[in-house]
Structures are given as structure tokens and as C-alpha cells.
Amino acid sequence: MTQFTTIAGIPIVKIGHGLMSMTLRPDVLSDEQCFEAIIAGINAAPSGTKVFLNSGEFYGTLPHDATTNLELLNRFFTKYPEHAERTFLSVKGAIIVDERGLTPDCSAEGIERSINNIIEKLGPNKKVDLFQPA
């Protein structure tokens, strides 16, 4: 059985790593716990393939720390920049987060705002490979 598929010609391991539960939770996981889990997935991937990581612009403590997941990834790729090329990063966004909850905003302005926010929070060591309006 094939262990990978392709997205836009890039070989991706078929089993990805959803990151929401690392930051959208009442208790705080340490960076090292999260980093260890991400690295385990990368190390388990066959050579020449990338690991699909799924994050979200709103995977944090709502409404004030919504971008905690992206900030975690920023710290990960700052500490381990060599892992950036082994990952395919998908980020969900285009959501307004406020006291009322989550509201989709797929207007051109909403998507631009979301992408700019994601790029800022993610930092310079990893690019978004796939943006998904939520």
C-alpha cells in the first residue's frame, strides 16, 4: 500500500498531524511536549516525503489568544528550522474571532487580513503551503 499521496506534485505522507489539540485546550502543554510529537511524525515519514501539519488561525484560547497555535509553530520552526522542508503546512483561517464567537469572513478583505495575520504570527521560518477558509 502506498504510504504517500501528492498535493500539487509534492509527496505527502497519507497520515497527517492535526495540531488543534495542542493549544485549544484548558490545560497548557509545554512546547517540548508539542515539539516532540511533531518531530516524531517527521522522523516517521519516509525519506523524500513531507508530513501534513494542520493548524488554524483560531486554534487557541478564544477570543484573546486565538493565534496560539501559529505562535507555537513559530517557536517550533525557530528552534528547528531544518524541519521546515519536511512539512507541508495547511492553515485554516478567514474567521473573525470576538466575544460573540467565530464568524466566517470570506470576503476579499477578510481573506487578505487572515493571510497577513497568519504570515505575521507564523514568522519567517516556515511558509503556509495551503490556506483554507474555514
Catalytic residue among 35, 52, 58, 59: 59
Supply the DSSP string of 69-117, one letter for each residue: HHHHHHHHHHH-GGGGGGEEEEEEE-EEEETTEEEE--SHHHHHHHHHH
Which three three-digit cell numbers place residue 65?
Answer: 489568544
CA quadruple 19, 23, 27, 28: dihedral positive or negative? positive
Instruction: Tell me which H or E stretch contains 22.
Output: helix 20-23
Range of the domain at 85: 4-133
Please say if the pLDDT value at position 2 is more than 70: no
80 is catalytic: no
Q: At what angle do helices 108-122 and 68-79 cross, to 10 degrees?
A: 40
Question: CA-to-CA distance for 23 and 15, rounded, in angstroms?
Answer: 20
pLDDT digits (tens, 9 = 90+) for 3-30: 999 999 999 999 999 999 999 888 989 9
pLDDT tier, 1 (very low <50, low <70, confident <90, very high otherwise): low
Q: Which residues are within 8 A (CB) of 10 and not within 5 positions of it... i.e. 6 or more apart?
A: 50, 88, 129
Query: Residue 87 corresponds to which amino acid?
Result: T
CATH number at residue 60: 3.20.20.100
Number of domains in the chain: 1
pLDDT tier, 102 (very low <50, low <70, confident <90, very high otherwise): very high
